[in-house]
Structure 1
Amino acid sequence: MIESLPLLGAGGHPAQGVDFTAVEIRTTGLRPGRVVELAAVRVHADGSIAGELSTLVDPGPGVPPGSALVHGITRGELDGAPSFGAVLGSLLNFCRGSVVVAHDLPFVAAFLGHEAARLGTGVPVLPGVGTLEAAQTAVRLPNYRLATVAHALGVPARPGPSALSGARTIAQLVVALFERHGFTFAAPPVLPALPRFATGPLRPREVAEPAEPGWMAEAVERVVTGRGGDAYLDLLAGVVADQHLSPDEVAALAVLATEVGWPEDRVRSTHERFVAAVREIAERDGVVTAAEARELRQVATALGVADAGDLRPTAGGKPTRVLVVGTTAAADRLRARVLAEGVQLAKKLTASVTHLAVDATVPANDPRPARAAELGAVVLDVRAAPMALGFEPPPAPPAPAPAGTSKLVGGRILMGVGLLLMFVVVLAMFGGTPLVAGIFFALFGIGALLGGWWLAEPAPR
């Protein structure tokens, strides 16, 4: 149903004039199964929103909706919602003339393709791009969860449990990637000529504003899963980000792990690895707050990790917390670098921010640099920040000139002066200069030659 388009850096076909349709889904599990919520946000290449579509999807009478822990959808909410077949026409009409975008494009394409195959009808192939794959090319991050990538690229929208909140984030993310990081299409996108499909009523659910992220939500952005990722670890990070994890929620996670074929010992080792990673993040800056210690113990207990280590709050001190302001690729790379170094990356200016980095897109009358200075934060230019934050060593001082270099240079200059003076004397003699004057200046030339030779002569070893 969706075919991935190859992307290039500079030199390909630009996205100017192209519409993108960001698609996000909520499903019954980690493997292709059933879609229970579908959302799409259409955005122009300049970032302006053209429209939104959102609906719950009933996978069938009595079919469990999957873990409400992940998407917050209950079976009761799906009763009376349209089926996938009833909403497919609306989705195709909405995507007409645009390039489909998803964060994890293969995952979304597999679910939508599976649902379309169940209908037994031919569905046109839509061109698509994945923001996860593009982000892996653009910036180096500890993990490439949607929330982490959005934070690194300065996208203000935060993905929440609903599919629409995720689609809104993806729409802003794809614009940032194409605008600031120079992505182009390897070939002009071929947009299929779609007929107008019949549509039916949709049932959108209310989108609650995501809660302000706490320390745990920020910490999981710095947990390393690598470029390949780890589906269960990513899911675990998303679940614990809200700081609340009950035994029932842990049991629901175990069911999801079973669906992808994970044995119990692998789930247990993943929980231990996750707790150890968060602990290392808490201790890395040398300051452990009471909230950090409390939240880590709560998560460790819920996950059944008995030994979370003796993590105790430390007195005094202030952990490094960096706010990067700007909309350039350099600002994106710095935000990514902060996360990759395990340092706290702030979303807004508060008294806890220790460093504010700004780029050239921040106007001179922006009040934040002055306010940051009032709060005691260090204000930096984006280009100087990596060194000031200790991510890069200061440049090495220039090496002193080897002993004898100045004498060698001085000697060669003196020899050159002597040769030039001798050449002038010869010309002057041919021009009729008196012999006595010629001899006088010739002696000066010979003296300069001999003195220069003595200075430039290497010292005996």
Structure 2
Amino acid sequence: MIESLPLRGPGGHPAHGDFTAVDIRTTGLRPGRVVELAAVRVQAGGSFAGELSTLVNPGVPPGPALVHGITRDELADAPSFGEVLGPLLDLCAGSVLVAHDPAVVDAFLSHEIGLLGVRLPPLPGVSTLAAAQSVVRLPNYRPATVAHALGVPARPGQSALSGARAVAQLATALFGRYGLTFAAPPVLPALPRFADGRLLPRAEALPAEPGWMAEAVERITADDAYLDLLAGVVADQHLSPDEVTALAALAREAGLSEAHVRSTHEQLVTALREIAERDGVVTAVEARELRQVATALGVGTAGDLRPAEGGKPTRVLVLGTTVEADRLRARVLAEGVQLAKKLTGSVTHLVADASVPPNEPRLARAAELGVAVLDVGVAPVALGFEPPPVRPVAAAPTSKRLGGRVLMGVGLLVMFVVVVGMFGGTPLAGGIFLGALGVGALLGGWWLAEPAPR
């Protein structure tokens, strides 16, 4: 269903049309069934153009509720995929599809469309995952991590609609801020029309404010599908034995071995512990949350973790919508430092770029809280990510060097005259006097011509 459009930097075909961001929730890790579908259409400049969201009844159990929060009872009255295909295609018509990982979305949607016996022309699509990888270096590229690094306010939660909204904002930020273009002009095919279907959107409570665990998983290097899923689950700061059992069943259905699952659990806990200890301050909250997750996963590497006395971990809030601000947020995450989402008493440094106005209220509030306020240009050094620049030794002015060399030449000439004169019978006293003048000229010229050490 989705045909990937290669991207490039400035110089390609600009994105002037609409994007439709698509996200889904499914029964498992591998292509199975869709249980929720959402799409958000935006113009390239970021203007909202419409959205849809609906639960989808696949006729089979919904899969891991701990991942998507959908129960069997919620799907009882939900429409089938065939009923929601028409509204989805109507919203997508004439636009470029966007998904964080189009290959995954395409696998599930193509499977559903194949079950209906429907044939569709390929729709051009782009990946916010690939786009983010091309412009910013991050420990992982989970949607939540990329959104945080780019300063996107939307937070992908359990619902497909929250994910689609975040992807839509990521697309407009990536294309607008980094000048990304299409390597070839997108071909927007005519789509068949289907009968208007029935939609059943679900209500989703606002996600809780992220705690330490949610921030820590953004700093974990994750290139494994199960590790990525596990990181998303533990981000809510709690993991029950039932959830661990459900995760293990999900991994088995995806063909993962028990050894792989056990190794991934150990990898996650080890990485979380390294993050907790990296700044030299392990808080009571960090120790408690890490021990709880380690116990639930059956990993013992956090049992001896103890809170440190005193101290305050470095916690950075970066304000701004420029490329420089994005790269600093990414650098903070890569360095294992806490990247704050809002200004609180736990923030130690606030960094602002040129897009932040001088009357921004958080600048004044940071000063009241005793938070160090930095410009984005000096922040890497101030935060200890880079050494202070070495000041080059100033060279002596050209005129000064030239004068010194002339004086050295005069000194050499005087010394030559003295030597010749001494052989010609010049009185000793006169020779000594002239020799002293020559030596003085030589030393003075050298001092002028050579820069003094600093």
Q: Same fold (TM over 0.5)?
A: yes
RMSD, aligned CA: 2.6
Deviation at 1:46, TM superposition (A): 1.6
Partners of 1:413 and 1:178 in 2: CA distance = 61
User: Which of these residues, 160, 163, 172, is aligned with residue 163 of structure 1?
Assistant: 160
Q: Deviations over 1:185-241 (max 9, x none)?
A: 11221111224332211111112211110110011111112xxx2100010000001
Deviation at 1:401, TM superposition (A): 6.9
Partners of 2:407 and 2:177 in 1: CA distance = 56
The alignment partner of 2:131 has SS state of helix
Provide the residue aligned with 2:233 in structure 1: 239
Partners of 1:262 and 1:276 in 2: CA distance = 20
Deviation at 1:265, TM superposition (A): 1.4
Provide the residue aligned with 1:14 in structure 2: 14
Asked whether 1:184 is paired with 2:181, we answer yes
Does structure 2 retain, via aligned residues, the 8 Å contact 1:126–1:192? Answer: yes
Partners of 1:262 and 1:234 in 2: CA distance = 14
Provide the residue aligned with 1:429 in structure 2: none
1:18-57 maps to which residues of 2 (within 5 A)?
Answer: 18-57=17-56
Provide the residue aligned with 2:199 in structure 1: 202
Q: Percentage identity across aligned positions? A: 75
Provide the residue aligned with 1:412 in structure 2: 405
Does structure 1 retain, via aligned residues, the 8 Å contact 2:269–2:301? Answer: no
Does structure 2 retain, via aligned residues, the 8 Å contact 1:413–1:452? Answer: no
Partners of 2:245 and 2:334 in 1: CA distance = 31
Provide the residue aligned with 2:420 in structure 1: none
Specify the code of the residue in structure 1 equivalent to 2:383: L
User: Which of these residues, 246, 257, 265, is aligned with residue 252 of structure 1?
Assistant: 246
Provide the residue aligned with 2:295 in structure 1: 301
Partners of 1:236 and 1:294 in 2: CA distance = 18
Partners of 2:378 and 2:402 in 1: CA distance = 37
| More displaced 10-residue stretch of structure 1: 308-317 or 238-247 | 308-317
Partners of 1:382 and 1:186 in 2: CA distance = 32
Partners of 2:127 and 2:226 in 1: CA distance = 20
Q: Deviations over 1:10-33 (max 9, x none)?
A: 111222x31110100000101011
Provide the residue aligned with 1:72 in structure 2: 69
Deviation at 1:397, TM superposition (A): 3.0
User: Which of these residues, 153, 161, 165, is aligned with residue 150 of structure 2?
Assistant: 153
Does structure 2 retain, via aligned residues, the 8 Å contact 1:323–1:357? Answer: yes
1:19–1:413 distance in 2 versus 1, CA, 3 Å: farther
1:217-366 maps to which residues of 2 (within 5 A)?
Answer: 217-225=214-222, 229-366=223-360
- 5+ long unaligned stretches in structure 2: 412-436, 450-454
Partners of 2:339 and 2:23 in 1: CA distance = 26
Partners of 1:294 and 1:310 in 2: CA distance = 11
Provide the residue aligned with 2:415 in structure 1: none
Partners of 1:416 and 1:258 in 2: CA distance = 87
Q: Deviations over 1:32-66 (max 9, x none)?
A: 11111000011111212111101111112xx1111
Does structure 1 retain, via aligned residues, the 8 Å contact 2:96–2:186? Answer: yes
Specify the code of the residue in structure 2 equivalent to 1:333: R
Aligned residues: 422
Partners of 1:243 and 1:132 in 2: CA distance = 25
Specify the code of the residue in structure 2 equivalent to 1:13: H
Asked whether 1:58 is paired with 2:57, we answer yes
Deviation at 1:408, TM superposition (A): 7.0
Partners of 2:85 and 2:406 in 1: CA distance = 84
Partners of 1:413 and 1:258 in 2: CA distance = 86
Specify the code of the residue in structure 2 equivalent to 1:318: K
1:417–1:88 distance in 2 versus 1, CA, 3 Å: farther
Deviation at 1:251, TM superposition (A): 0.6
Does structure 1 retain, via aligned residues, the 8 Å contact 2:27–2:61? Answer: yes
- 5+ long unaligned stretches in structure 1: 419-446
Q: Deviations over 1:242-276 (max 9, x none)?
A: 11111110011111111222111111111111101
